Amino acid sequence: MKYIVVTGGVMSGLGKGITMASIGRILKNHGYKIVPIKIDPYINIDAGTMNPYQHGEVYVLGDGAEVDLDLGHYERFMDVDLGREHNITTGIVYSAVIERERRGEYLGQTVQIIPHVTNEIKARIRGVAEKSGADVCLVEIGGTVGDIESMPFLEAVRQMKLEERENDFLFVHVTLVPFTTLHEQKTKPTQHSVKALRELGLQPDIIVCRSREALREDVKDKIAMFCNVSPKAVISARDTEDIYEVPLLLEREGIFSYLMEKLQLEQSKEDPAWGRMVARRKLSSEGKKIRIAIVGKYAELEDSYLSIKEAIKHAATELGCKVEMKWIEAEELEEEKEVDFDDVRGILVPGGFGVRGAEGKIKAIEYARENKIPFLGLCFGFQLAVIEAARNVAGLKDANSSELCETPHPVIDLLEEQREVVKKGGTMRLGDYEVFIRRETLAERIYQKRKIVERHRHRYEVNPAYIEQIEREGVVFSGTDRSGTRMEIMEISPDIHPFFLATQFHPEFKSRPNKPSAPFKAFLEACININPKIQTLNPNQYQIPKTQ
């Protein structure tokens, strides 16, 4: 097993996750099987309770694990499906060590950071690597060198370096080369960052230097000399407009050749599919431009909806168009007397728990329905679309969710079998679940199949007692779980509305650059084909298939 450990210095947010995802993509392009692991030094068990303003979106894996958004980058770049074992946090490690101590497994020893905590970290890394059967295991250590919470993890990988064969372990350090007002490229932050790393017993093999522009050769030579690496090991990672171009950029800089040399990898033929995809993305940026509104409660921080942004880009690449995203704070809509979406061709309402901004999102949904603007609702956006239909189509004026308030018409509620589970501390419905699609519906047209698997992150459901009342004037629940009691997809007939679809699940989590999510692609197709002035749809679009 080969190991590549990625660390970061100078400041957070430099792009360690993109760097590691790109290295993984490069290796996969050359035929190597890879497995990524993200180490998060925070004491939280997982990212599920974290505020999106502080940490970006909570990404959900297939097994229901709630993790850091970097694992989303790994899945999208490397086209792999990960599980909870691929995310290691301080909270997970310390919990496991304390449980072992309570069970007496340490036989009365004084439990310490070294060796007990570091042994637990090493065992988890090796366990995931061996179970995967991969050729290369990539490990990203979150935070920056010098953070006190990162110390046990850095010590653990220092020990692993000594325990593994010399050509099986490699360190990549991501750092910053800032520019002065005189356009000088300054190496001192990189020098100090590497110095701090070396003080911990870690010598980087490759230094990836983030900068606004490509590094000059003399700057690379200076970094190599002061940081004790070969000039070939100093990789310039300049800013790019498209993150999916980063693997190509790093490979042009020679990172794969150096990885081959250091890890003694065999040369293999390169798969050009990634390069073709990036070329298509460049062409699509010059294609037809459309503007869509995203109405959310975290619109100030776009990383809160990172997977949605990427899913839109994936679909736009496939369709050859450029999408401009107009971010709208849902709370601001609540204060407006009139909702104005005249400059957009589609409206998307994403997930986001809680009462704050809920009525603003409902306003946006009502506007999309009444003005026949293509609409896509996700998770909480689905539930609010159900509430809007209950109020304004079914005539249940006080309809709401019992999660948000007391209401005489809880059209969104806990199912009966959920109540006892929630009382006992049961959590949300998380991860992959099957969805069964009704025949001759828009959902069937979009997915081209009647059974799908999508990722979920919610607790409350559509109240079955109100389904018959809500399903009128073209409103249809076109997807359910196997039992038929949990509603998964709501749509309005294409005879009545050009495109109106809402899903209880999160299709954005399964979107990939070369395999866009079906609902996102269909949504953008509708936005492209609709004429915003006359609000009619190309009649060749979304014909309901005749099922044999």
Which CATH number characterizes residue 20's domain?
3.40.50.300
Res 344: pLDDT: 94
- pLDDT score at 485: 93
CA distance 153 to 144: 12
- CATH number of domain containing 491: 3.40.50.880
Do 37 and 117 share a domain, yes or no?
A: yes
Residues 372, 249 share a domain: no
Residue 541 lies in a domain: no
State yes or no: is 379 an active-site residue: yes
In a domain, 270, yes or no: no
174, part of any domain = yes
Annotate 29-65 with b (16+ C-beta within 10 A) or e (fewer): bbebebbbbbbbbbeeebbbebebeebbbbbbbbebb
Same domain flag for 223 and 346: no
How many Å apart are CA 314 and CA 520, to the nearest integer? 9
Q: Which pLDDT belongs to residue 444?
A: 97
Contacts of 88 (CB under 8 A, 6+ apart): 37, 38, 39, 40, 121, 124, 125
Q: Which of 253, 444, 508, 525 is catalytic?
A: 508
- Residues 157 and 126 sit within 8 Å (Cβ to Cβ): no
The per-residue pLDDT for 304 is 87
Kindly state whether residues 48 and 82 are assigned to the same domain.
Answer: yes
**Residue-by-residue pLDDT tens, the chain, 548 positions:** 999 999 999 998 899 999 999 999 999 999 999 999 999 999 998 888 887 767 779 999 999 999 999 999 999 999 999 999 999 999 999 999 999 999 999 999 999 999 999 999 999 999 999 999 999 999 999 999 989 999 999 999 999 999 999 899 999 999 999 998 888 999 999 999 999 999 999 999 999 999 999 999 999 999 999 999 999 999 999 999 999 999 999 999 999 999 999 999 987 888 999 999 999 999 888 888 999 999 998 777 778 899 999 999 999 999 999 999 999 999 888 877 677 788 899 999 999 888 999 999 999 999 999 999 999 999 999 999 999 999 999 999 999 999 999 999 999 999 877 766 655 455 689 999 999 999 999 999 999 999 999 999 999 999 999 999 999 889 999 999 999 999 999 999 999 999 999 999 999 999 999 999 999 999 999 999 986 443 433 434 444 444 33
Tell me if 35 is assigned to some domain. Answer: yes
Angle, nearest 10°, between helix axes 255-263 and 16-29? 70
Q: What is the DSSP string of 144-211?
A: -TT-GGGHHHHHHHHHHHHHS-GGGEEEEEEEE--B-TT--B--HHHHHHHHHHHHTT---SEEEEEE
Q: 307 and 213, same structural domain?
A: no
The string over 305-318, giving b where at least 16 C-beta atoms fall within 10 Å of a residue's C-beta and e elsewhere, is: bbbbbbbbbbbbbb
Of 232, 265, 298, at which residue does a domain stop?
Answer: 265
Residue 53 pLDDT: 67
Q: Two tokens at 105?
A: 């497994």
Per DSSP bridges, beta strands 136-141 and 34-40 are parallel
- pTM attached to this predicted model: 0.91
Residue 57 designated active-site: no
Residue 408 and residue 481 in one domain: yes
Cis peptide preceding 494, ω within 30 of 0? no
Active site residue 86: no
- How many residues are there in the chain? 548
Residue 256 lies in a domain: yes
Has residue 547 been placed in a domain?
A: no
The verdict on 233 and 342 lying in the same domain is: no
Is 406 in the same domain as 516?
Answer: yes
Domain C-terminal end among 217, 233, 265: 265
Question: Residues 73, 456, 458, 506: which is the catalytic one?
Answer: 506
348, 241: one domain:
no
Within 51-113, strands assigned E span 59-60, 66-67, 87-89
Residue 274 lies in a domain: no
- The pLDDT score that the predictor gives to residue 475 is 96
One domain for residues 174 and 244: yes
Residue 484 domain flag: yes
Count of structural domains, the chain? 2
- Catalytic member of 137, 227, 321, 379: 379
**What token pair was written down for 338?**
């009139």
- Same structural domain, 250 and 202: yes
Q: 518 and 401, same structural domain?
A: yes
Question: Residue 337: what pLDDT?
Answer: 66
Domain residues for 124?
2-265
